[in-house]
Amino acid sequence: MALEPVPLTWLESLACESIHLWDDLKKAFIDNFQGSLHRVATRHALSMCKQEQGETIRSYVKRFFDTRASILNVTDDDVIDYFQSGITVQFLYRDFGRNRPKMVVDL
């Protein structure tokens, strides 16, 4: 079996002894690549990902996580901060701040 460069890099970047069961690997993979387009991006690209005028939150979420999936070594706190700062609809931004998730998987 061969992996594309982005998932292979992600797999090789997993911390030693962090995966003990197949279900651990499956969950980690899905959490990281859910909705991914597998393109190379930087943390800056993630920080610049903003909800566009008239864009639905669903569309923004998909686009944000497509970008996130190809970035290695970004903390959950940073991902959550970038996500919130990209929300342009004021009531959604405030609601997100009140109900801020602790982990990316909770987004």
Instruction: Read off the pTM.
Output: 0.59
Residue-level length of the chain? 107
pLDDT at 37: 46
pLDDT at 39: 47
Question: Which of 104, 10, 85 minimizes the C-alpha distance to 46?
Answer: 85
CB atoms inside a 10 Å sphere around CB 81:
14
pLDDT at 48: 92
Q: How far apart are CA 22 and CA 93, in angstroms?
A: 37
* In the block, residue with structure tokens 């864009």: 55
Long-range contacts of 80-87 (CB under 8 A, 24+ apart): 80/104, 80/107, 82/46, 82/47, 82/49, 83/107, 85/47, 85/50, 86/49, 86/50, 86/51, 86/60, 87/51, 87/57, 87/60
Q: How far apart are CA 107 and CA 104, in angstroms?
A: 5
Sequence spans of domains, the chain: 5-106
* pLDDT by position in tens, the chain (length 107): 566 666 777 788 888 888 899 988 888 887 777 655 444 567 888 999 999 999 999 999 989 988 888 787 788 899 999 999 999 888 888 888 888 888 887 77
